[in-house]
A and B are shown apart, each in its own frame.
Chain A
Amino acid sequence: MNTRLSKRHSVWLAGVLMGLLFILPVSAQQTSDQPTKAPAASEASKPMPSQQPQPTTVPGRPDIPNAEVAKQLRNVAPSPFGVPADKLPVSQLKVPQGFRVEVHASGIPNARSLRLGDKGTLFVSNRVLDKVYALVEKNGKREAKVIASGLDRPNGLAFHKGTLYIAEGTKISKLENIEDNLENPPKPVVIYSDFLNHQSHGWKFMALGPDNKLYVNVGAPCNICEPPETNGQIRRINLDGSGAEVAARGVRNSVGFDWHPVTKELYFTDNGRDWLSEDLPEDELNRVTKIGQHFGFPYCHQGNFTDREMGWGRSCTEFEKPVALLGPHSAALGMRFYTGKMFPSQYQNAIFVARHGSWNRTKKIGGDVIVVKLNKDGSVKSQEPFLTGFLQNNEYSGRPVDVQILKDGSMLVSDDHAGAVYRVTYGAAKVAAR
């Protein structure tokens, strides 16, 4: 606690110093490739608020940033090209003893959601690009083949009896018999399109429920706001697009969910709001025990405090509380329960969660896969790091988005930053098996 306080203090002091630097003429702040031709005197004579020394980096309220703090708080854009296999940081990745991690596929720019077909085909989606890929074996080599393109943020994938469902920004489509037609895939056929068009949290995560319905998140179209009635929810829809209803509300933006293998209850991750503070709120792991429950957004965050703008007159007791907090700004995204046979028994029915990693935080956290172990009653027993090493010196060499358990019990992890898919195995003998 003391170290944290003193750290904050020194950040504040640094802020004051940076504030003093703002007294300098504007030309001094410009990049070095620009000649300093502006006469300093005339610049300095203009009335500018930045001429007053100000404490610029009060934690949580960096309204006027100093350059270094602002830089650390910036979003990190993924490469639109993808990193070649030999440049991937696999050697610096860490997994618990007995596990191994290898590159499963590379050169899939912006690799996002993972979904397995009945015949074992892995499908990989995009968020900032327009494609959906299938991994195919060709002459003993694994290749990513585009099976659909020209799509609008096709982040969400679900699979049911031979049909791949794709959730885009404003619609859900299907590709029937896709695994039999990978060489000549059919055009997507729209089954549902009752979504507002919005960029902010407009991409969708989608999964097939145990009730054979498509569950899809409909995010809040903002960082923090009173969302329209149609948004801030997880919705479920029949496979033909009929019967839409709200499965969970008060959800800011969930980019991952799965069902408990025994209780069949829906668990989902939810991303907390930005620009509140370095340490608050934390991302949530939630459990739906009754369809239609409200999980607090935008009024209550992490089950225990009301929002500074939207929370007046509200109480957190009105809403469902999260079963676990997954770290401030950590961007907990894809998650799956582990039901495979390869990993040790302590991982049985545990949840693997891909944390994409923070942007709205000076000291980045996440950029890893954690394992959340549950008690018999479905409450959370523990959470532990599982796959780490992407985040070093406050920079990412990869950002996990989704996890997928293969039939042999190994686990795939997608990385949209470097455009890769990694595979985690347990036990030395099984590494070579595909």
Chain B
Amino acid sequence: MNRAALRLLPPIRLLNVMSACAQSHALMTIITAAIISLSALPANSATLEAQLTACLACHGANGTSVIPEVPSLGGQPVFYLTVQLLMFRDKLRIVEPMNQAMQGLKDDDLRNMAAHLAKLPPPEPSGDPIDAGRMEHARALIEQHRCNFCHQGNYSGEQNVPRLAGQREDYLVKALREYKNNTRRGYDAAMADVLYQLGDEQILDLAYFLSRLR
């Protein structure tokens, strides 16, 4: 593979992704910073650095997203992140900016990006007020549907199963609804099995609980 071409591609893609992100959220400062840091680095690390900067422009500087419906990536299991990046690259999951950002990347690029993102700190749980009754209701739901089997007792995830603790509430609602209506494909069908039995009210309760979880 032609190294010069590699060096040229990422900034273009980076700008596309960032403009997709910045259209609704003015993040021009980060974009500028990304371009400056890109030009200052040697070719190989610049590629990864640029890719990561592009990721974090939307997903939050330390992996904690501040943008509605964009997930926090900090503390996610590396296997989960790798698989999701691959699913975006191969269009097994359709999210336009992500499909564009991953286009043409090699397996090793995905592995490296995932390894770096997984090292970012897990998100702090939402500071919103907590309704104890609603939390208990959700906890019962979780036990009934065994969410804590795969996602672990502290919801930190493992292997192909994502961390849920402290995730953005609006993203959790979006993801669960997409599993429910078959618009989001899982790497396996485990979530579809669970969501088959859940209604929207329960989705809202689960997201409420998980985003506030300490």
Contacts and interface: CB of A to CB of B under 8 A. Distances in A.
Range for the number of chain B residues in contact with chain A? 35 or more
Contacts of A223: 193, 196
Given A31-B154, A74-B161, A128-B187, A80 B149 contact: no
A150 interface: yes
A30 B154 contact: yes
A203 to B, nearest CB: 8
A47 interface: yes
Interface string B148-174: 111011101011110000000000000
A318 to B, nearest CB: 25
Given A63-B143, A75-B150, A198-B182, A130 B92 contact: yes
A202 interface: yes
| Centre residue among A38, A43, A130 by max chain B CB count within 10 A | A130
Given A80-B82, A80-B83, A128-B187, A34 B152 contact: no
A71 B179 CA distance: 23
Given A198-B192, A202-B189, A222-B196, A150 B156 contact: no
Contacts of A129: 90, 92
A128 B148 CA distance: 23
Nearest to B190: A75
Nearest to A202: B189
A33 to B, nearest CB: 9
Given A31-B156, A200-B193, A77 B150 contact: no
A88 interface: no
A227 to B, nearest CB: 11
A73 B156 contact: no
B122 interface: yes
Nearest to A76: B159
B96 interface: no
Nearest to A110: B187
Nearest to B213: A26
Contact of B83 (A29, A64, A77, A199): A77
Contacts of A75: 150, 160, 188, 190
Instruction: Tell me if A's interface is mostly helix, strand, loop or mixed.
Output: loop
Contacts of A419: none
A200 B154 contact: no
Interface of B: 79, 82-83, 86, 90-92, 107, 122, 132, 136, 139-140, 143-144, 146, 148-150, 152-154, 156, 158-161, 179, 182, 185-193, 196-197, 214
B112 to A, nearest CB: 13
B193 A26 contact: no
B79 A77 contact: yes
Given A26-B214, A75-B150, A199 B79 contact: no
Name the residue in B140, B143, B149, B185 with the highest tally of chain A Cβ atoms < 10 Å from its Cβ.
B149
10 contacts: A47-B136, A49-B139, A65-B153, A67-B152, A70-B149, A75-B150, A77-B187, A197-B182, A202-B189, A221-B192
A225 interface: yes
Interface string A217-233: 00001110100000000
B187 to A, nearest CB: 5
Interface string A382-421: 0000000000000000000000000000000000000000
Contacts of B132: 47
